[in-house]
Chains A and B, each alone.
Chain A
Amino acid sequence: SQTIHQWPATLVQPVGSPLSLECTVEGTSNPNLYWYRQAAGRGLQLLFYSVGIGQISSEVPQNLSASRPQDRQFILSSKKLLLSDSGFYLCAWSVGGGGTYEQYFGPGTRLTVT
């Protein structure tokens, strides 16, 4: 069966510090991968998606970046965090090729920038 891991679960970082969030998927090959951010009580904002290794599409220009160094690994990074980067970060995957619709979400990372 497929599983998706995210870590850490919670993170408190000062403004201006770097960020690295990691997501890995098990039990599937060539998945589509996604990073979302959710502010408290709000919907999900798509940040990045990837259809293959090294292929990253950015949806929102900001101080965040994403990389996909391996087929089932997706990393979200920032060189300098802003207060507005606080939120609940969710990684998700779907079956590759765009043929299906269901997205499977990881447990999320709750980031607080102080």
Chain B
Amino acid sequence: GQSLEQPSEVTAVEGAIVQINCTYQTSGFYGLSWYQQHDGGAPTFLSYNALDGLEETGRFSSFLSRSDSYGYLLLQELQMKDSASYFCAVRDTGGFKTIFGAGTRLFVKA
């Protein structure tokens, strides 16, 4: 079967750094994506890794290790507005389907 595992909740303080891990077990793999979703809103794309290594986009970075079937999202200089749910997602080999994890709820405290 296909599954993605990520922590259900993470709490951090404003200005800190937080890492959200994701491990996956899928029949095919074409890349790992991360999405952010605020309460009541739609998910928005954050980053994508197709190859091993670190991708940096402003305060957010994403890492992938295909040999370990593992990735993480790193959020730096946390702000209150970063409080949201974060989903990792795997794009399957065919490229048309994306399977989402259950999401990690991030709480940023002052």
Q: Which residues of A contact B (CB under 8 A)?
A: 32, 34, 36, 41-46, 49, 51, 57, 59, 90, 98-99, 101-108
Contacts and interface: CB of A to CB of B under 8 A. Distances in A.
Nearest to A90: B42
Interface in B60-108: 87, 91, 94-103, 105
Q: Which 9 A-B pairs have the closest CB atoms?
A: A98-B95, A105-B42, A43-B102, A44-B100, A102-B45, A101-B48, A43-B100, A43-B103, A105-B43
A51 B102 CA distance: 25
B76 to A, nearest CB: 22
Contacts of A105: 42-44
A41 B84 CA distance: 11
B96 A108 contact: no
A104 B42 CA distance: 9
Contact of A98 (B35, B94, B100, B101): B94
B23 interface: no
B12 interface: no
A99 B91 CA distance: 11
Contact of B87 (A43, A101, A106): A43
